[in-house]
């Protein structure tokens, strides 16, 4: 009788170990499937993101919300997007920015192209940091 109890206990222990091994292995396989589905091992998040099909334009699209939802798939890119998209957009024109600064807009600035004036204004604000 004692001999049978020892065998039962041994079988239960082996079964438990086998189950733990299978469960651990199954979990690892699921993890690999998840990782493989999001991107290949050699591929960066950016490469994976750029391979995605382009979404159709929608006037109700919320970029911050989209990046929040895709945060698990692209953790680094979503943080970068959050940082960039949270920067307030200026509605002021280049001329308005000079007026707000209580300076007269020089003639050469008025004749500049908008992109150049904006670049100069950005470099001025960055140099203050």
In angstroms, rounded to a whole number, what is the distance separating the alpha carbons of residues 15 and 12? 5
Q: What is the pLDDT of residues 72-97, one digit of tens each?
A: 999 999 999 888 888 777 655 555 65
Q: What is the pLDDT of residues 53-68, one digit of tens each?
A: 988 888 888 888 899 9
pLDDT at 64: 86
User: What's the chain's average pLDDT?
Assistant: 70
* Alpha-carbon Rg for the chain in angstroms: 30
Give the Cα-Cα-Cα angle 20, 24, 30 (nearest 5 degrees): 145
In angstroms, rounded to a whole number, what is the distance separating the alpha carbons of residues 7 and 114? 86
Provide, rounded to the nearest whole percent, the portion of the chain with pLDDT above 70: 46
> For the chain, which residues make up each domain, given as ranges?
1-38, 40-87, 94-127
pLDDT at 29: 67
Q: Provide mean pLDDT across the span 93-120.
A: 65
Count of all residues that appear for the chain in the document? 129
pLDDT bin (cut points 50, 70, 90) of residue 129 is: very low
In angstroms, rounded to a whole number, what is the distance separating the alpha carbons of residues 119 and 97? 13
């Amino acid at each position: 009788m004692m001999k049978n109890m020892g065998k039962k206990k041994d079988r239960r222990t082996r079964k438990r170990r086998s189950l733990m091994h299978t469960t651990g292995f199954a979990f690892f396989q699921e993890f690999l499937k998840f990782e493989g589905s999001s991107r290949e091992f050699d591929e960066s998040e950016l490469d994976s993101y750029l391979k995605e099909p382009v979404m159709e334009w929608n006037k109700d699209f919320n970029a911050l919300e989209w990046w929040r939802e895709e945060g698990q798939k692209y953790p680094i890119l979503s943080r970068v997007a959050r940082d960039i998209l949270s920067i307030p957009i200026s509605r002021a024109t280049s001329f308005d920015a000079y007026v707000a600064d209580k300076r007269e807009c020089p003639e050469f600035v008025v004749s500049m192209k908008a992109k150049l004036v904006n670049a100069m204004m950005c470099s001025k604000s960055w140099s203050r940091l």
